[in-house]
A and B are shown apart, each in its own frame.
Chain A
Amino acid sequence: MNETRVGIIGIGQSHFKPRRDDANYPELVREAVRLALHDAGRELHDIEAIVYSLAPDALLGIGNAERLGVDAVGGAGKRFLRINTGGSTGLSSVAAAHAHIASGECDLVLAAGADKVGECGDSQTILNKIWDPIYERQLPLGTITMLAMSAVRAMQKYGMTEEDMARVTVKNRRHALGNPRAHLRKSVDIEDVMTSRYLAWPIKLLDACPQSSGGCSLVLASERYIRRHALDAVWITGVGHCSESYYIGDRMGNNFVADHADAHALALSFERSYRMAGIKDPVKEVHAAELYAPFSNTEFHAIEAAGLAPLGRSMSMLNEGCFQLGGAVPVNPSGGTLCTNAIAVSAMVRVAEAALQVWGRAGEHQVANARVAIASGNGGDHQFFGTMVIES
C-alpha cells in the first residue's frame, strides 16, 4: 500500500476577479495551465493524462465545456477525464489525478479548469435546478437558502450567533489582504458584516462568497519521476472522499444519522484522509487548513469536521483567535472560498493553497513553519465531500 508516493510539482492560479473580459473560457483555462507547467518546469508534451475540473455546465453557459477546453489543456492524444462533484469538483479532480499516479498508470498528470461565474447573471436560478423537480425545486431551494437552514440549526444546537458568523468574514477578509490572487481584498469589520443586507436569514451579503472568474491548475508526479528529474515537490499523503444522502429533511426530525447543522460526511472524509496520512491528532499535527466554506457559517462545521475543534466549540475558539494567521491552526490563510469562488476550481484552489503553505511559498499569507496542511471541498447540499493532507 502507498508504494507510489504522489507529489505536487507545479501550481498555477489566476488572479481571481469579478470578470475577465480580456479572456474567454478556454483562454482562462490555458492561462492556469501555462502557469502550472512553468512552475513545474515541464513541457506540455511531458504530460500523460489530464483531469478536467468543471462544475455544472449551466454556470458557464457552455454545455460540456470540457469539449471546448480540451485544446486549452493540450488534451489531444492524451488520456482525458472530466470531473464534476459540484463545489468539491476541484478537489475531486486532484484526487483523480492522484489516482492515475498512485495506481502506477502514469508518472505525470495535469489537473486544470476555470470558471467565469461573473458571466452568469443567474447563479441561484441554476443552483435551484440541482433540486429534485418533484418534491423540492418549487420551494425554491438554492445554495444560499440550504446553508442558511444549516446555520439556523447550528444557532439552535450550539448557540452560534450572527456575530460569530461575522467574525469568520472579518478574519478571512483580513487574510485575503495578504493573497494577491484573492478576489475580495478589502478588510471589513463586524459592524460592516452585521449591517449588510440579509440575503436569506441569517446569511447576509458579507457572509457570502463572491462570483469569481479565474483558473487553477496543478501538475502531479510520481515519486520516481520527481527523484529521476531532481524536482522540488510537496506530497499528497492523505486523500478522502465521502458522500451524504440527498434529502435535507432526512438530516433532521427523528433518529437522523447526520444533522444538517453539521458536516457529518465531511468528518468521515477527514477521518479517511487522516488515516491514510497517519495523522492521529489533527490539532497537534496540522499546521494550516484550507477548508471550503462559501458562507461564513459553514466554516464552523468544516473546522469541526476537520477535527480542529470539538462539535460546537469552533465559534468560541475562532473568537479566541485560534484560526487566524498567528493562531494555533490558521484556517483559510488565503482568505478562502469566502473571498474567491470560481466554482469549478474553488476546491482545487484549496489544495493549491495548502500546497503553497507547506512549500513555504505562500508569501504574505504564509503560516510560519507549516509542514502539514489540509484541504477540503464540499459539493451539492452536503452530498460530495473531498479532503486531502499535503505535507512538505
Chain B
Amino acid sequence: MELLKRKESWNIGYEHALGETASWFFVQIRDHAQLYGRRCPKSGRVLVPPRSFSDQTLEPTTEWVKVGPGGRIETFTIVYEPFKSLPDPPYAFGYVLLDHADTAIGGYFRGVDLSDPDKAAAALAIGTRVITRFATERKGEVLDFWFEREG
C-alpha cells in the first residue's frame, strides 16, 4: 500500500544569559585578547573555561588567573564528514591545557594541512605545544580564539 510521510522542522530561537563569570571571561577575550581561569580555593585547581563554582567541592571559585597563550594538546579530532547545520569539513578541534591552567579548554586547531588524515593526526598528537591566536575582530565568544602549533 502507499505509505505517506510528512516533513516537519524545529527552528526555535533562544537568547541565553551567560552569567557574571562567563560574561567577564568573554569581555576579557573581546577587549584584551586574554584568557583567564578561576581558581578553586579548596583544591587550588585553576578551572578553564572558568566556572563560578567547583564541580568537585561546590565551593565558589575566588580568583581570576591569567592562562595561556601557550599550551599543549590534550586531545583532538579531525572531522571529514559533513553534518547538517555544522561547519563544512574538514576541520580540526580539540582540547588544550593552557599554561597555568589545570583543566583543558576546547577550541579549533588551525594552520594544519588536513588533506592527509594520518599526517594531520600526527601534527596534532597529544602533547604538541600550541599557541592561542585571537581574531582581529572579536565578538566575545569561543570562536574569537583558536590554536596553532608553536613555532
Q: Give the interface of A toward B (CB within 8 A).
A: 21-22, 58, 61, 121-122, 124-125, 128, 133-136, 138-142, 144-145, 148-150, 152-153, 156, 197-203, 245-250, 252-257, 260
Least distance between A385 CB and chain B CB atoms (Å):
17
**Chain A residues within an 8 Å CB radius of B49:** 135, 247, 249
* A201-B95 contact in complex given A134-B22, A135-B142, A145-B77, C-beta closer than 8 Å: no
User: Which residue among A133, A202, A248 has the maximum number of chain B CB atoms within 10 Å of its CB?
Assistant: A248
Complex Cα distance A282/B126, Å? Answer: 33
> Binding site of B, secondary structure by majority: helix, strand, loop or mixed?
loop
Given contacts A249-B74, A253-B74, contact A122 B85 (CB under 8 A): yes
Count contacts on B: residues with CB < 8 A to the other chain. 49
Contact A200 B77 (CB under 8 A): yes
Nearest 7 A/B pairs, CB to CB: A249-B104, A148-B77, A252-B74, A201-B78, A149-B75, A198-B80, A124-B83
Could you say which of B81, B105, B106 contacts A197, with CB atoms under 8 Å apart? B81
Dominant secondary structure of chain A at its interface with chain B? loop
Whether A198 contacts B81 in the complex (CB less than 8 A), given A21-B3, A134-B22, A139-B142, comes out as yes
A198 touches B75 (CB 8 A): no
A134 touches B74 (CB 8 A): no
Within 8 Å by CB of B97, from A142, A200, A254, A260, lies A254
Residues of B within 8 A of A (CB): 3, 5, 8, 10, 14, 16, 18-19, 22, 45, 47-49, 55-56, 74-81, 83-87, 93-95, 97, 101-108, 117, 120-121, 125-127, 141-143
Partner of B86, one of A21, A125, A260: A125
A139 pairs with B103, CB closer than 8 A: no
- Across the interface, which residues of A come within 8 angstroms of B47, CB to CB? 250
Q: Are A121 and B106 in contact (CB-based, < 8 A)? A: no
Q: How many contacting A-B pairs (Cβ < 8 A)?
A: 135
Contact across chains for B104 and A253 when beta carbons are under 8 A apart: yes
Name 14 A/B residue pairs within 8 A (Cβ), A-sorted.
Answer: A61-B8, A133-B16, A134-B18, A142-B83, A144-B81, A148-B77, A152-B77, A153-B126, A200-B77, A200-B78, A200-B80, A246-B55, A254-B102, A254-B103
Bound Cα distance from A152 to B79, whole angstroms? 13
| Cβ contact within 8 Å between A22 and B3 | yes
B107-A247 in contact (CB<8A): no
How far does the Cβ of B39 sit from chain A's closest Cβ, in whole Å? 13
Q: How far is the CA of A205 from the CA of B70 in the complex (A)?
A: 34
Q: Across the interface, do B97 and A202 meet the contact criterion of CB distance under 8 Å? A: no
Chain B nearest Cβ from A12, distance in angstroms: 23
Whether the Cβ atoms of B77 and A149 lie closer than 8 Å is yes
A249→B95 contact, CB < 8 A: yes
| A198 and B78 contacting across the interface, CB-CB below 8 Å | yes
Q: How far is the CA of A21 from the CA of B22 in the complex (A)?
A: 46
